[in-house]
Structure 1
Amino acid sequence: MNLINKKVTHKRFGMGSIVKQNDSIVEINFATDNKKFVYPDVFGEHLELHDASIAHSLHQIIQEKVLEQKEEEMKKEEEIKLQRKYQELRLGHEKLMRNHKLHPESQMVFWCDAEEQNSSLSEWKIFSGEIKSGNNKGKPNKPIRLHQNSAVLLTAVEPGRPEEDRRILGVYMVKDGFIGKLCEDGYIPAHSEYRLQLTEQESDQMLFWNYYVNEKFPQKQTWNTGKYRYFDNSWMAQILRDIVALKNDTREQEQAQQFFDHHCKMNQLIEQDLPKPNGSLMRA
């Protein structure tokens, strides 16, 4: 909007004429001297245009700028709120990491159906399922025991086969920074490095019940209901140690060894102190 030569009245300096104008400054010639003001902020409260039509158009421009400023302020406030929320979450996460105490049974084993057998090993994550009853019915289960020291074991048994034939399909450490208590969607993602998949031939040699035992029924292979079970940290170490021995390919064996060493370190386990597997199949 061109305001050059337009007549104005200022509350303090009186009448004048606009002699210069750009996007941020307007210069006005008064009787005594020239004055510069912030454009268009000076109009309305301090400065009045004599031309009513132009004054109306300028008023609309000012209103639009005010709205833009309010939107910008709201946007900044929202960004500050998000930053504060992120900071609170980060501090909470760090506190949980610092204060975490190892649970002796912080490993997880999953019963995988046919679809999950493929998806869990291709996407390297698995869903903990939904709560079946109560006020939180339908919400994802929180794997509350899982932490940086936890590994997830994937198992399956072929349709029509007895539970004692449950095979180990693969295993992975949880993703860096994963804390089960903070897991809202129920998905447990894999570590970028520590993950192992067994071939069908290897899987046939890794029977889950060689390692796991239900203390209520120590000589039975009883799964009953549910998608997963927590189990002993040392049992997971036994499984990883046997996978190392099972691997023939040098590179895969090295990867399995690194996985085993990392798991032992995270769970404060010493390889020489690990007992031999003593699952329910061993006791039958």
Structure 2
Amino acid sequence: MNLINEEITHKVFGEGNIVDQDASFITIEFNNDTKKFVYPNAFGKFITLNDQNTAKSLKKILSKREIEEEALERKRQEEKEQQALERRHREKLKNNRIHESSQIVFWLDEEEQQNVFTDWQVFTGKVQSGKSKGQPNRATRVSTNSAGLLTAREPDQAETERRILGLYMVNETFAGNLSDDGMIPSHAAFRIELTDQEAEKMLFWNYYINKSYPNRTKWNSGKYRYFDNVWTAQILKDIIALKTDEAQIKESKKFLEYFCQMNALDMNNIPEANGALKQ
């Protein structure tokens, strides 16, 4: 806004006239002196424009600038907090070695398939033998860096038809070795539910492989098994490619970013899936 030749009133120096202006300063000529002031900070504090219309126009500009500066400061603060979070996470990784297979994959029964996307938690099942028989299983590897992978197949389907129905990050306060009830709750922000059509394209055995028997597609028994961290990143990457809704794509990308951060993985260098069905 060009303010040259505008008349002003200064709280101390009285009446004056603006004779020069740039992005950072204005120069004002008073009766016996010429002084330079910071622009636009001096307005509203020490200097008032005499022309009311010009003063209103300047006030709008200053208000807009103030809003922009507040937004910029909030962004700086958010970035500062994020950097602090990342530093704490890196320190945690140094002190606590992450197991390469600290994800958990569930075989959901029919009732769980109906409820899991409402409850967003899964029961690990009960110990089948030994002195702890009948007590809830403790998934000791599962912690805040873990994701819970949700899978199912129909009773008349082959194991190769096992579908991925969705997944969630484990609640940020959860520790499997301290859990007594066998329930693995989800993180409130990181949850993905696949449609039936999407699940048909996300076959579990495209990712899982028994390294000793690479062609074997056999679950055997048990409610859950542990799952490789990299395989989970591969699944998230493929879900992003599968999704067509922009909001869901954005949410899936945030999920992958958080997952890789929590598991010390480079999200830009995730290898292609190479599970048993791809051998």
Q: Which TM-score bucket, shorter chain as reference?
A: 0.5 to 0.7
Q: What do residues 66-114 of structure 1 show as CA deviations (whole Å, max 9, x unaligned)?
A: xxxxxxxxxxxxxxxxxxxxxxxxxxxxxx9995320100001011111
Task: Give the equivalent residue in structure 2 for 1:173.
Answer: 169
Check conservation: 2:140, 2:175, Cα contact below 8 A: yes
Q: TM-score, length-normalised on structure 1?
A: 0.64
Task: Give the equivalent residue in structure 2 for 1:252.
Answer: 248
| 2: CA distance, partners of 1:115 / 1:214 | 29
Check conservation: 2:256, 2:267, Cα contact below 8 A: no
Among 116, 126, 138, the alignment partner of 1:130 is 126
Q: Identity, % of aligned pairs?
A: 48
Among 95, 111, 118, the alignment partner of 1:115 is 111
Task: Give the equivalent residue in structure 1 for 2:229.
Answer: 233
What amino acid does structure 1 have at the position aligned with 2:158? P
| Larger-gyration structure (1/2) | 1
What amino acid does structure 1 have at the position aligned with 2:245? D
Among 131, 136, 140, the alignment partner of 1:140 is 136
Check conservation: 2:139, 2:177, Cα contact below 8 A: yes
1:207 aligns with 2:208: no
Alpha-carbon deviation of 1:267?
A: 0.6
Alpha-carbon deviation of 1:263?
A: 0.3
Q: What do residues 230-271 of structure 1 show as CA deviations (whole Å, max 9, x unaligned)?
A: 011000000001101111101011000000010011111112
Structure 1 counterpart SS, 2:156? coil
Q: What do residues 169-188 of structure 1 show as CA deviations (whole Å, max 9, x unaligned)?
A: 01000011111111110000
Structure 2 counterpart SS, 1:273? coil
What amino acid does structure 1 have at the position aligned with 2:267? E
Check conservation: 1:214, 1:222, Cα contact below 8 A: no
Alpha-carbon deviation of 1:224?
A: 0.4
Q: TM-score, length-normalised on structure 2?
A: 0.65
**Alignment RMSD (CA, Å):** 1.4
Task: Give the equivalent residue in structure 2 for 1:74.
Answer: none
- For structure 1, the residue ranges without an aligned partner over 5 or more in a row are 1-95
Alpha-carbon deviation of 1:158?
A: 1.3
Alpha-carbon deviation of 1:272?
A: 2.8
Among 252, 255, 261, the alignment partner of 2:257 is 261
| 2: CA distance, partners of 1:155 / 1:201 | 14
Check conservation: 1:125, 1:187, Cα contact below 8 A: yes
- CA distance change for structure 1 residues 97 and 188 in 2, over 3 Å: closer, same or farther? farther
What amino acid does structure 2 have at the position aligned with 1:258? K
Structure 1 counterpart SS, 2:268? helix
Check conservation: 1:210, 1:282, Cα contact below 8 A: yes
Task: Give the equivalent residue in structure 1 for 2:81.
Answer: none
Check conservation: 1:171, 1:197, Cα contact below 8 A: yes
| 2: CA distance, partners of 1:219 / 1:98 | 36
Task: Give the equivalent residue in structure 2 for 1:188.
Answer: 184
- For structure 2, the residue ranges without an aligned partner over 5 or more in a row are 1-91
Alpha-carbon deviation of 1:217?
A: 2.0
| 1: CA distance, partners of 2:160 / 2:223 | 17
1:149 aligns with 2:145: yes
Among 190, 193, 197, the alignment partner of 1:197 is 193
| 1: CA distance, partners of 2:93 / 2:140 | 13
Among 230, 239, 242, the alignment partner of 2:238 is 242
1:279 aligns with 2:271: no
What amino acid does structure 2 have at the position aligned with 1:219? N
Task: Give the equivalent residue in structure 1 for 2:23.
Answer: none
